[in-house]
Amino acid sequence: MTDSLPYSMKDVKYDNAKFRHRSLYKVINQTLLTHKRNWLSCSTGKFLALVMLFGLAYLFLTHTSSGPEVSGGLVKNAMRNEKEKINSDGVSGLKRFWRKPPRLPPRLSPDEKGGKNSFGHEAENPSSRLKWVSRQQKVKDSFIHAWSGYKKYAMGYDELMPLSHHGVDGLGGLGATVVDALDTAIIMGADEIVSEAGSWIETQLLDRIKHKGQVNLFETTIRVLGGLLSAYHLSGGDGGMKLTRNGPKPAVYLDTARDLADRLISAFTASPTSVPYSDVILRDSSAHPAPGGLSSTSEVSTLQLEFNYLSMVSGDPKYSLEAMKVLEHLKTLPKVEGLVPIYISPHSGQFSGENIRLGSRGDSYYEYLLKVWLHQGGSQNTNMTYLYDMYSEAMKGVHNRLVRKSVPNGLVFVGELPYGSNGAFSPKMDHLTVKIHPGEIYLCDLCVKRFEIHEACSGYGMFPAWYTCTWCNKRQDKRESNERQFTHI
C-alpha cells in the first residue's frame, strides 16, 4: 500500500460518523488505563491481571542465567566487552523495558514568536510573500484536481467515491458537491469551475428540488442553501463582492435558494414546538422527525445564519422568524454552566439525555451563538445580547468542566461528560472540538475585544488543546484519519 492511498481499501459512504480505525494496542491501552478512571472499583479479575503483569515484569528484570559457569577466557572477554558496550550506550535492563515518554515539539521563544503580528510581518517580506503565493497556488491546484475527478466520475451526484470511481447521493441528491464547492471556486478565481458549477445549478438544480424526496434539514441548509447564498453574495448580488463574472446572474442563485427554503421551512412549521424536525420531503414540502424522534442540538441551532441572510436579501422575514425561535427557546432551557446535551426532542422541546460534548452533535451550537450574534449586529443590537451571554457562560463552563491535562505529558485537552455533570469524565477529544472552537474564540477576540472569554480558554483550554491535537496528529500514521483521541488522565 502506497502512502497516497487511504488505509481503508473500500469507499465509505457519508453517514455523519466517519470511518474510524483504532489498533489493538490502542483498544487495550484505552480499556486498561482510561476506562472509568476509577481504579478503586476495579474487579478482582483486573486486579489479578495487574499482579500477574507486574510479576512478569519483575522476573524479566531480575532473572539471570542459572547455567554452569564458563571459564574460557575468550568467552569471559566477550561477555565483558558486551557488558562494557551496554554500559557505554547507557542502556540497562530497566531502560530497555520502560519506554521513554515521547518528546514534545519545541516551544517557540518570545523572540521566535515575533509578537502578535508575526504572521503579518512575515507576509510583508517579499520572499515570504512569494512563498505564500506559491502555497496558495498549490492549494488551488489541489482543488482543481479534486473537481476534475468529481466532474469526470460523479458530476451531479452528492459525492464521489474515489476508489470505485462512481457517484452516490448520500445527502438527498441535490448535487451537494457542486453547490458546496462553488463559493470556494469563486474565491480562488477558478473561473472554469465557476462556469461549470453555475451552469449545472441553473439548468439542473431547481428541477431536482421539486422532485426529490427526503433530505436532512441541517445538511441541506449548510451545504446547498448556504452554498447558493454564498454564490449570490460573491457574484455581486444585493451589493455583494462581485468576485466573478462567470456563471449565471446572481438572481438565479437567490431564486433557487428561496424555492429550496420554502420547502425546508416545513420542518419548523410542522413541529409542535420551536424545535424543528430533522427531515424534510422536498417534493411535497412535508417534514417528520428522525427515527427515534430526536433532533441533534447542533443541527437545530446551526440554521440561523443562512435563514437570517435569506430574509435580509429577499425581504421576507419568515425565514429568520422561524429559525430564531429555536435559539430563543434554547435560551430558556436548563444548562450545566452553559453546556447543553447533544439531543433535543421536537415533541417536548426539552433536551434528551445528559451527554455533553463539544464534538459531533454539539459542536456548532456554540459556534452559532457567537456568529449569529455578530451577524445580527453584535453589541449594537441589544435584542441579541442573550446570544453573547449564552456563549460567554458556555466557554467558562468548558474551562471548568471539560478541560483537563494528560498524564504524564501534561497536554491540555477537552474531554466529554457522556453521563452528564454527575457522571464520569471521558478523556475523549473529538477533532471537531479543537479544529473549530479555537477559531471561533479568536474571532470573538478580534471582533469583540472582550478578553474574559479569550483568557478563560487560551490559558488553559482551546488553544493548548489545539496544540495537543496537532502533536497527536504528528505522531499518527500519515494515512490515518485522527478524528478522536483518547488521553490518559
pLDDT the model gives residue 126: 81
89: number of Cβ within 10 Å: 9
Question: Edge-to-edge strands of the sheet including 351-352?
Answer: 295-296, 343-344, 351-352
pLDDT the model gives residue 199: 98
| Rounded CA separation 112/424 (Å) | 41
- Mapping DSSP to helix (H, G, I), strand (E, B) and coil, where does residue 289 land? coil
pLDDT the model gives residue 441: 67
| Rounded CA separation 229/256 (Å) | 9
Query: Which grid coordinates are listed for 372?
Result: 449569529
- Are 163 and 12 a contacting pair, CB within 8 Å? no
| Rounded CA separation 122/437 (Å) | 26
Position 6 confidence tier, pLDDT thresholds 50, 70, 90: very low
Question: 194-203: per-residue pLDDT in tens?
Answer: 999 999 999 9
- The stretch 318-328 carries a mean pLDDT of 98
- The stretch 437-446 carries a mean pLDDT of 68
Scanning 235-336, the segments in alpha helix (DSSP H) are 250-264, 266-269, 297-300, 304-314, 318-332
Nearest 5 degrees, angle CA 170-CA 176-CA 181? 140
**Do the strands 286-288 and 484-486 form a parallel or antiparallel pair, or are they unpaired?**
unpaired
- Are 318 and 324 a contacting pair, CB within 8 Å? no
- Are 355 and 418 a contacting pair, CB within 8 Å? yes
**Cross-strand partners of 404:** 413
| Rounded CA separation 35/21 (Å) | 19
Position 414 confidence tier, pLDDT thresholds 50, 70, 90: confident
Question: 275-304: per-residue pLDDT in tens?
Answer: 999 999 999 999 999 999 999 999 999 999
Q: Read out DSSP for 135-164?
A: HHHHHHHHHHHHHHHHHHHHTTSSEEETTT
- The lowest-confidence range among 148-152, 362-366, 481-485 is 481-485
pLDDT the model gives residue 63: 58
Q: Of the spans 92-96, 364-368, 410-414, which averages the highest pLDDT?
A: 364-368
| Rounded CA separation 372/317 (Å) | 16
pLDDT the model gives residue 48: 79
Contacts of 200 (CB under 8 A, 6+ apart): 155, 156, 175, 178
Query: Which grid coordinates are listed for 331?
Result: 435560551
466 DSSP assignment: H
Question: In terms of pLDDT, which residue wins out, 1 or 180?
Answer: 180
Position 407 confidence tier, pLDDT thresholds 50, 70, 90: confident
Query: Which grid coordinates are listed for 105?
Result: 515539539
Question: In terms of pLDDT, which residue wins out, 49 or 115?
Answer: 49
Q: How far is CA 219 from CA 172, 215, 298, in A?
A: 9, 8, 11
pLDDT the model gives residue 429: 80
Query: Which grid coordinates are listed for 199?
Result: 451552469
Rg (CA), the chain: 28
Tell me the backbone φ, ψ of residue 4, rounded to 5 degrees. Answer: -80, -15
| Rounded CA separation 408/489 (Å) | 8
Question: 13-71: per-residue pLDDT in tens?
Answer: 655 543 344 455 554 554 454 444 444 555 676 677 778 888 888 777 765 444 444 34
Question: 171-199: per-residue pLDDT in tens?
Answer: 999 999 999 999 999 999 999 999 999 99
Query: Which grid coordinates are listed for 275?
Result: 424545535
Contacts of 285 (CB under 8 A, 6+ apart): 262, 263, 266
Q: Of the spans 110-119, 175-184, 235-244, 398-407, which averages the highest pLDDT?
A: 175-184
Q: Does the structure show a pLDDT above 60 at 78?
A: no
For residue 271, which of 289, 285, 283, 284 has the smallest C-alpha distance? 289
pTM of the model: 0.72
- The stretch 430-455 carries a mean pLDDT of 62
| Rounded CA separation 84/90 (Å) | 10
Q: Does the structure show a pLDDT above 50 at 96?
A: no
Q: Does the structure show a pLDDT above 80 at 74?
A: no
**Residue 359: Cβ-neighbour burial (10 angstroms; 0-12, 13-18, 19+):** buried
Q: Kindly give the interhelix angle for 176-188 and 226-234, rounded to the nearest 10 degrees.
A: 30
- The stretch 463-488 carries a mean pLDDT of 48
- Are 220 and 227 a contacting pair, CB within 8 Å? no
Question: 192-250: per-residue pLDDT in tens?
Answer: 999 999 999 999 999 999 999 999 999 999 999 999 999 999 999 998 999 999 999 99
Query: Which grid coordinates are listed for 413?
Result: 485537552
| Rounded CA separation 431/408 (Å) | 22
- The stretch 320-326 carries a mean pLDDT of 98
pLDDT the model gives residue 471: 44
336 DSSP assignment: B
Q: Kindly give the interhelix angle for 431-448 and 451-458, rounded to the nearest 10 degrees.
A: 150
Q: How far is CA 56 from CA 60, 62, 163, 242, in A?
A: 6, 10, 46, 71
| Rounded CA separation 467/287 (Å) | 42
Sign of the C-alpha dihedral computed for residues 111, 116, 120 and 123 taken in this order: positive
- Are 158 and 175 a contacting pair, CB within 8 Å? yes
* Averaged pLDDT score across all residues of the chain: 79
pLDDT the model gives residue 430: 76
